[in-house]
Structures are given as structure tokens and as C-alpha cells.
A and B are shown apart, each in its own frame.
Chain A
Amino acid sequence: MVELLGWVPLFPFLGFLILALAGARLSKPQIAWVGVGSVAVSALLAAWLGAEFLNGTLQPYSRVLGTWMAVGDLSVPFGFYLDALSVTMLFVVTGVGFLIHLYAAGFMEDDPGYARFFAYMNLFVSAMLVLVLADNLVLLYLGWEGVGLGSYLLIGFWYEDPNNGYAARKAFVMTRIGDMALLLGMILLFMHLHTFDIQTLMLRATSQWASGAALPVAAAALLLGGALGKSAQLPLHTWLPDAMAGPTPVSALIHAATMVTAGVYLIARTHALFAMAPSIQFAVAVIGALTLLMAGCSALAQTDIKRILAYSTISQIGYMFFALGIGAWSSAIFHLLTHAFFKALLFLAAGAVIFCFYHEHNIFKMGGLRRAMPLAFVSFLIGSAALSGLPFTSGYYSKHEILAIAYDVSPGLWMAGCLGAIITGIYSFRLVFVVFFGDQPQAVENHLGWRMSVPLVLLCLLTVLGGMLRVPLDSVFPALLSHEQDFSLVSVFTLTAPFIGLLIAILFYLRGGYSVRRFIGLGWINQIRIFCFNGWGMDALYDRVVVRPFKAIAWLNKDDVVDGIYAAIASLSQKGHSMISATQNGCVRWYATSMALGTVIIIAIGWLS
């Protein structure tokens, strides 16, 4: 059966081709059938292949469909590789992807760009599948750039508003910085190890390089650069909150569940290399910890429902990096899986609120929606519980595991993680309380169709039960050295951290009747709020350091300096021409005089010399 692996990314690509070439001639139901159906077929196939794989021996399987390029000793095949890690990613991309496509079929019903939307979505899913299935770095890079393109096209989907185009360009340029690092890392690896095949690369790296030497450190640092850009981690995270300009299903699929976790996947895929560069691996953990705190604080101050979720995504991916950094590889992938479920659920529920409530994004203009929209309320409640890691939800199992391992590695990092968990509890329940409790300002506008309700219900189930879907990753990652679970104070505090956050949220946003308002008057609190609202001023920093100097240089050089040389030659010959042509004045006597003078001068020269 595994021979059919190549068909998994092919179906969405066929869907993309059909919609891109004939989308204008299809009716809306036909478009939905093609767009959702292609991903559904792919998801069924993936589920079948995955089940067969997991019931088998868990031996990695690779399949080469053909050669992409072969020059000298460089050979890049269209090769797909299936192991426990790719199976996990396959489930996430096709399963969650299918539910989001189904939801989008209802959400985007009235949009004139229905066919274009599904064409882009299918292209994205196809590229993402190539990324997670690729057996060599070049094919992975193809998928990597493909998802970047899909992300760009979908953020700027409503291109009539220049701000959306700006957000799309920002996302593209920011991730491109990381992509450049990834490309350099690939070239560095190829120069020294002479192959692009990931498994061979890892084998050769571990056998040829010494742990902690300069080469593995440099290669790991460059790959990390790529991962930081794609996964929106410090310092390349600023594009993700702006990426919320896209339609909500896009935010759920690309900017929460799948594409932004590509960096986590990349590091997990090349974990042998990172294990050989302990300094870089530690940097991964520190970046993860800093990002989860920074994004958590920023989420606390946001008022746009989607931006809160965007910052929480950055924060949760921070947890994944954190887990990768401390060597808890399989916990990171487990958190990736559960995060995909609950974050997709939260985004789709947020989309439902936006869809039914006059396309309003500001949470403080909503309120009391729990009676009008019970399904969205339950979804949000379950999603937020999983997001903050309350017990018996899927998020609890993954996050608790990461924090428990973190304490063994470094208590300092563990404290940062716990602080992050408290903040997560505050902002996720702040959102729930503000939107769904209190007074309802207006009646709701729309009601959800079945295409939007079914994915919400299914994702609710997955969010609660997702902890059981864990794919055993022992065949891919090395086991942790010594993981002794002692149920001491550490474990108790890890468990209570989200409850502390929940309690604070209840005190401030549910009972106290917005008692935050008391603080607003205080100048320095307000300063902190604005600082957090602006994402710790990173945008302003980049604006000062990069954008404005660049614009200034561009302004100075708007008439190209190099062009000046050619312009000078042109104007010099034109001046010369006008000077000489002035002597051609048509006056015969002038010509005669010049001839006489010339003759005299020539004779004089002849005579004198």
C-alpha cells in the first residue's frame, strides 16, 4: 500500500490545477467539491497509509518517484520518506487540513474569489505535504518555499486593501530572511558531506564530525535561522500577528496548525545535527523560552481576537522550540500535534464568532455570546482549557511533559516555562470571559451551517482526546537519558500554574467587572500595556534599524549612481554636438573665412616646423 505515498501530495496539487485553470467556469458547489474533495481523498489515503505503517514494524519506508535533477555527483530525486515523524505530520496536515477546508467551504461561501481561495489552499496543502514527506533537503526546500508562497498568496487574499498586501509582503520578506539561512545551511552541508539525502546526511555528520566542532555548529545555526523565520520565533516573529489579515480559515490552517510548525519539524528532522551542536541546541531552548514569554505578554494586551490567537500561536511554538532545545524531541512533536488540534479549533471558533457577529474583531465590542452561540462557546472553552494546559485535555499531556523534562535539564528554563503557563491561562480565559460573558451588545447576525459546525465538533473531540493519538516516536528519536518522574513540589506547581492563570483571569475579567480599568489610569501600567500591545516594540525597532535606513538609501540613490556615468557620457556628447553644429550656420562667408584661416594655419605650421 505504501507505494501510493506519492499520491498524497499529488491530489491537492491536481485540485489546485483544476481550480486554477478552470475555476472560473465551475459553480460554487463544484469548486467546493474539488477543493475540499482533493484534500479529503488525500486525508483518507494518509490515514490508510498511516494506519498500515503504525500496525507494521515502524520501519522507515522511502519511495523514489523520479529524478528531479542530476548534475555530476549531485542527484536530487523526487523521493518521499515515511517514518513515525512524517506520519505524525501527515496526520496533522491532511486531517486538520481537511476539517479546515470543510469549514472554509461554508465560511467563504459569499466571497467572489471562492475558486481562487481553494486553489491557493490546495497548493498550500500540496506544498506542505511535499515538505513533510521529502527525503532530501532540496525537495524539502521546494515544499518550504511552496508553503511560503501559499502563505503569501492567502494573507494577501483580499488584495483590494493595501494593508493586506503589506502584511503579505512583510510575511514573505521576514520568512525569506530565514529561508536564506536555511539555503546556506543546505549548501554548507552539501559542500562537506556531498549529499542532500537527510538520513545519509545525519549518518555522515555523526560519523565524520566531532560533537561541538565548528562545522556542525555553523550548519545547525543556519538551519535554526530557517526554522526561526518560518516558525515566527524571536527575532523573526513580527510577521505572524500581521498575517492575521488573511481569511480566518487561512490563519487556522497556515498560521496556527501547519506551516508555522515547519521549523519545529525541520529541527526534529535534523535532530542528530542539533544534538552535535550543544551550544545551538541550548540557544533553541533559550529562544523558545524568551519567545513564549514575550508572545504571552503581548497576547495579554491585544484587543483583536485573531491577534490574541496569533500571539498565543507564537507562544506555543515557543514551547515546542523550548522542548526541542532541552532534547525532549518527541514531546515537542506531541505538543505540535495537540497544538494543531486546539489552535485550529480556537481559530475556527474565532472565525465563527467573527462570521456571526458583524465581522467584528475587537473583543471589547463583543460580550455575552455564550447563549447566542453555544457551539462557539463550548469550542472556545475546550480550546482555551487545552491551550492553557488544564488537566484531562490534550494540551495538558503535552505541555506537562515538556515542563517536567525541563526541570531535569534546567530549573531556570522550567521557571520560564511555568511563568509562560500562568500567562497562557490568563490571556486565554481573558478572551473567553470578555467575549462570552457579560452583556451582549447586539443580536447575532448569522448562524453556522453544518459545514462550519461539523469541523468544530470534530476538533472539540480531537482536542479532548488528542492525547491518545500520540504516534510512538521512539523509532525516530533517541530516548531521553534519564527521566525520573518524581511527583514532588515541581510537578505540583507545574500542574497548578494554569489554574493560577485561570484564577487571575476570573478575578480580573469575570467577577471584578473589568477591574483592570482601575489600573488604566496609572501612567506606568499604561506604558507597559502599550509596550506589550506593540509586541515589545519589535516592529518599531526593525522600522528604525532596517526599514528607514533602507528607505533613506533608496531615496538617496533614486537616480542610480552608476547610471550617472552613462548619463554624463550622453550629455557630454550632446553638448559637443550642439557646439559643433553651431558652426554650421549656413553662412557661406563664414565657411570661406574658416577655410582661409585653416589654410593660413596649416601653411604656418608647415613653415615653422
Chain B
Amino acid sequence: MNGIPMEHGLLLSIVLFLLGLTGVLVRRNLIMILMSLEVMLNATGLAFIVAGSRWGEADGQIMFLLILTLAAAEVGVGLGLALQVFRRWHTLDADVLTGMKG
């Protein structure tokens, strides 16, 4: 467990997180936004794993399991919502769906 330095792992995690964030901000399709969110969640999970292996503790992996469950639930709810949105408005474009504007 001393092959990869922690900095590399964290750097990868940051890059993945920023890629995911960029995806959330620039994509307009709800499905793509959900996918980008998954990338961001996994980037966070990676950071936990790396930190856990650095300290030799199991907490990082336990946290990752939690995030994995959370992501699964989120995808379930998110895709369900996306399906309903498409049924109702026949579009998945987030910029068109502005019915809640103040």
C-alpha cells in the first residue's frame, strides 16, 4: 500500500470533482447533469479512500460505502424525477424548466 503517493490520489480526486462540477454547470440535459453528479460523488469517495489508506484506518472505506449507497439512492430518485419531467414537459432541458422562477 505504499505504491501510489497520497498527493497523486488527492489530485486525481480534485480533477474528477472539478470535471464533475463543470459537467453539472455546463450541461443542460438532466441525464447528463445526474451523470456529472455521480462523477462528483465518486471523486469525493476516492478522496475518502486515499485518506483512509494514508492513515491505515477503515473509516475511509466505511464512508465510501455510505457514499455508494447514497449515490445509488440519488440516482434512483433522480432518474425517476427525470422520467416524470420528460413525461410531463417532453423535454429534459434544465434551462427550459424554469417554472419556479420568482
A603 to chain B, nearest CB (A): 13
B97 to chain A, nearest CB (A): 7
Query: Which residues in A have their C-beta under 8 angstroms from that of B98?
Result: 585-587
Asked if A584 is an interface residue, CB under 8 A from chain B, the answer is yes
Q: Is the CB of B101 within 8 A of A589?
A: no
A597 to chain B, nearest CB (A): 10
Among A572-597, those with CB < 8 Å from B are 581, 583-589, 592-593, 596
Q: Is the CB of B25 within 8 A of A593?
A: yes
A593 to chain B, nearest CB (A): 6
Query: Which residues in A have their C-beta under 8 angstroms from that of B33?
Result: 588-589
Asked if B46 is an interface residue, CB under 8 A from chain A, the answer is no
How far apart are the CA atoms of A585 and B102 in the complex, in Å?
6
How far apart are the CA atoms of A208 and B24 in the complex, in Å?
97
Contact of A589 among B94, B99, B100 (CB under 8 A): B94
Number of interface residues of A (CB under 8 A): 11
How far apart are the CA atoms of A592 and B23 in the complex, in Å?
11
Query: Which residues in A have their C-beta under 8 angstroms from that of B54?
Result: none
A587's nearest neighbour on chain B, judged by CB, is: B98
Q: Is the CB of A587 within 8 A of B95?
A: yes
Among A535-550, those with CB < 8 Å from B are none
A584's nearest neighbour on chain B, judged by CB, is: B102
Contact code string B20-46 (vs A, CB < 8 Å = 1, else 0): 010011101000010000000000000
Query: Which residues in A have their C-beta under 8 angstroms from that of B25?
Result: 589, 592-593, 596
Query: Which residues in A have their C-beta under 8 angstroms from that of B28?
Result: 589
Known contacts: A592-B24, A593-B25. The answer to whether A587 contacts B102 by CB under 8 A is no
Contact code string B38-77 (vs A, CB < 8 Å = 1, else 0): 0000000000000000000000000000000000000000
How far apart are the CA atoms of A590 and B24 in the complex, in Å?
11
Q: Is the CB of A588 within 8 A of B94?
A: yes
Known contacts: A587-B94, A589-B94, A589-B95. The answer to whether A596 contacts B100 by CB under 8 A is no
How far apart are the CA atoms of A585 and B101 in the complex, in Å?
4
A577's nearest neighbour on chain B, judged by CB, is: B102
Query: Which residues in B have their C-beta under 8 angstroms from that of A589?
Result: 24-26, 28, 33, 94-95
B interface residues with partner A (beta carbon < 8 Å) = 21, 24-26, 28, 33, 94-95, 97-102
A interface residues with partner B (beta carbon < 8 Å) = 581, 583-589, 592-593, 596
Given contacts A586-B101, A588-B94, A592-B25, 18 further A-B contacts (CB under 8 A): A581-B102, A583-B102, A584-B100, A584-B101, A584-B102, A585-B98, A585-B101, A585-B102, A586-B98, A586-B99, A586-B100, A587-B94, A587-B98, A588-B33, A588-B97, A589-B24, A589-B25, A589-B26
Nearest 3 interchain pairs by C-beta: A584-B102, A586-B101, A586-B98
